[in-house]
Amino acid sequence: MKAAMYYGIRDVRVEDVPDPQAGPGEVVIQVEAATTCGTDVKMYNRGHVIVKWDELPMGFGHECAGTVVEVGEGVTKFKPGDRVATHNTGPCGVCFYCKRGQNSMCENSVSIRGAFAEYVRIPAAVVRQNVFHIPPGLSFQTACLLEPLSCAVYGVDEIGIELGDIVVVNGAGPIGLMIARLAALRGAHVISCDLSGKRLAVARRLGAAQTVNVSEVADQVQAVRALTPQGRGADVAIEAVGYPEVWERTVQMARRGGRVLLFGGSRPGTTFTVSTELMHYSQLTLKGVFHTTPLHVSKAFDLLCRKVIDAQTFVTGRYALTDIVEAIEAHGRQDGIKNEVVVRT
Ligand SMILES: [Zn+2]
Ligand SMILES: [Zn+2]
């Protein structure tokens, strides 16, 4: 089959590789749709914690949906011909973290490798917990949004947005837009911030009540606070960009007693600074969040089935597999929102 293989930083090649085979508990799908993600951009530009540097090349991409073509021994839930949505990882369920419901930090998590390929092998732990039958009316492209949406659902759940909260979301990329949509669904008054007017227009369509174009204001923190009663700040301030300076600004947007969700993964080795005075007297709650759990994957799948978000909004570009590098670079330039990589010829 043809597959995009990751050889290292800025080195992704489309090659002929052996077709994957389903081991016990596994399934192989023919990829019908695959999409780019900020994680792919990071991995392409600077590497990523998920890269095992002594095991390169590795399959590239992690967001896909497809048709089952082979099932391994013991698989009863799926059969060839089934249309399925899949999350990219599966936790073990039995390690220290899994037992505490913190499956995102599972010590034995397994993941699919190489969504940008004609076929993908889905490991048993993923099949068992995080693969779903696609109902009629749900497209493969929309099903590709399962992984990012499940991360957004987890973040929103962890920070506990309530009816009537003022929620500022910094960043209107795929994750920021999904968080804005989910916060609006929870009954929050959402303020969306981004450098792109186009993306802010999408945020408004998804439920943001107000927007701040960061390129048009001298002081973003003041601009956001000015939109809150008495300038007191947001009940919940969320970072979905991945820059330490935005983490710092996000903290400064929270009201006294407010909650801060720091979602965007930053470059390794970076740090951020918080005023001890602010942290202490404002009684802030700062929360980091990474990835998701099977509970939130299943919630995200239900939300996709109910058309809470869809590919029409989130998948804005289409590239052939041979143009994978351009698809990733365009995502990185923030041309559009996400790109579909068409693997079937
Ligand atoms: Zn992703
Ligand atoms: Zn585990």
pLDDT in tens, 187-202: 999 999 999 999 999 9
- What average pLDDT score do residues 277-293 get? 98
Q: Which ligand sits nearest to residue 96's alpha carbon? A: 2
Q: What separation in Å is there between the alpha carbon of 108 and the centre of ligand 1?
A: 19
Q: How many CB atoms lie within 10 A of CB 89?
A: 25
Pairing of strands 234-239, 166-170: parallel
Q: Collapsing DSSP states into helix, strand and coil, what is residue 14? A: strand
* Share above pLDDT 90 across residues of the chain, in percent, rounded to a whole number: 95
**Residue from 211, 268, 259 nearest 239 by CA:** 259
Residue 215 · residue 194 · CB < 8 Å = no
In a 10 Å sphere around its CB, with 0-12 CB exposed, 13-18 middle and 19+ buried, how is residue 23 labelled? middle
Q: Which amino acid is at 167?
A: V
Q: Which helix (H) or strand (E) holds 122?
A: strand 119-122
Q: Which ligand sits nearest to residue 99's alpha carbon? A: 2
| pLDDT confidence tier of residue 322, bands split at 50, 70 and 90 | very high
| CA dist., res. 61 & res. 217, Å (int) | 36
Which of 47-51, 74-78, 188-192, 236-240 comes out lowest in average pLDDT? Answer: 47-51
Q: What separation in Å is there between the alpha carbon of 60 and the centre of ligand 1?
A: 12
- What average pLDDT score do residues 268-278 get? 96
pLDDT at residue 8 above 80?
Answer: yes
Q: What is the reported pLDDT for 344? A: 80
Q: What separation in Å is there between the alpha carbon of 165 and the centre of ligand 1?
A: 28
**Residue from 308, 302, 298 nearest 90 by CA:** 298
**Residue from 3, 277, 240 nearest 114 by CA:** 3
| CA dist., res. 330 & res. 345, Å (int) | 22
Tokens of 65: 């949906």
Q: What separation in Å is there between the alpha carbon of 322 and the centre of ligand 1?
A: 20
pLDDT at residue 237 above 80?
Answer: yes
Q: What is the reported pLDDT for 50? A: 80
Q: Which ligand sits nearest to residue 152's alpha carbon? A: 1
Q: What is the reported pLDDT for 52? A: 85
**φ, ψ of residue 210 in degrees (nearest 5):** -140, 155
Q: Which ligand sits nearest to residue 43's alpha carbon? A: 1
pLDDT at residue 131 above 90?
Answer: yes
Q: What separation in Å is there between the alpha carbon of 100 and the centre of ligand 2?
A: 9
Q: What separation in Å is there between the alpha carbon of 174 and the centre of ligand 1?
A: 9
pTM for the model: 0.97
User: Which residue reads 């204001």 in tokens?
Assistant: 217
Q: Which ligand sits nearest to residue 148's alpha carbon? A: 1
**Residue from 19, 27, 20 nearest 124 by CA:** 27
**Residue from 107, 152, 91 nearest 299 by CA:** 152
The pLDDT tens digits of the residues spanning 166-183 come to 999 999 999 999 999 999
Q: What separation in Å is there between the alpha carbon of 249 and the centre of ligand 1?
A: 25
Q: Which ligand sits nearest to residue 42's alpha carbon? A: 1
| CA dist., res. 93 & res. 172, Å (int) | 33
Q: What is the reported pLDDT for 257? A: 98
Beta bridge partners of 110: 90
Q: Give the torsion sign (CA, 175, 11, 51, 75).
A: positive
Q: What stretches of 134-285 show up as alpha helix (H) in DSSP?
A: 140-143, 146-159, 174-185, 197-205, 220-225, 244-253, 276-281
- What average pLDDT score do residues 8-17 get? 97
User: Which residue reads 């089935």 in tokens?
Assistant: 305
Neighbours of ion ligand 1 (CB under 5 A): 37, 39, 63, 147-148
| CA dist., res. 96 & res. 178, Å (int) | 30
Q: What separation in Å is there between the alpha carbon of 177 and the centre of ligand 2?
A: 29
Half-sphere exposure of 307 (CA within 13 A, CB side): 6
Q: Which ligand sits nearest to residue 93's alpha carbon? A: 2
| CA dist., res. 292 & res. 153, Å (int) | 8
Task: Give me the chain's average pLDDT, please.
Answer: 97
Q: What is the reported pLDDT for 48? A: 85
Q: What is the reported pLDDT for 335? A: 84
pLDDT at residue 345 above 80?
Answer: no
Q: Which ligand sits nearest to residue 107's alpha carbon? A: 2
The pLDDT tens digits of the residues spanning 52-99 come to 888 899 999 999 999 999 999 999 999 999 999 999 999 999 999 999
Residue 331 · residue 339 · CB < 8 Å = yes
Q: What is the reported pLDDT for 241? A: 96
| CA dist., res. 330 & res. 319, Å (int) | 10
Residue 87 · residue 131 · CB < 8 Å = yes
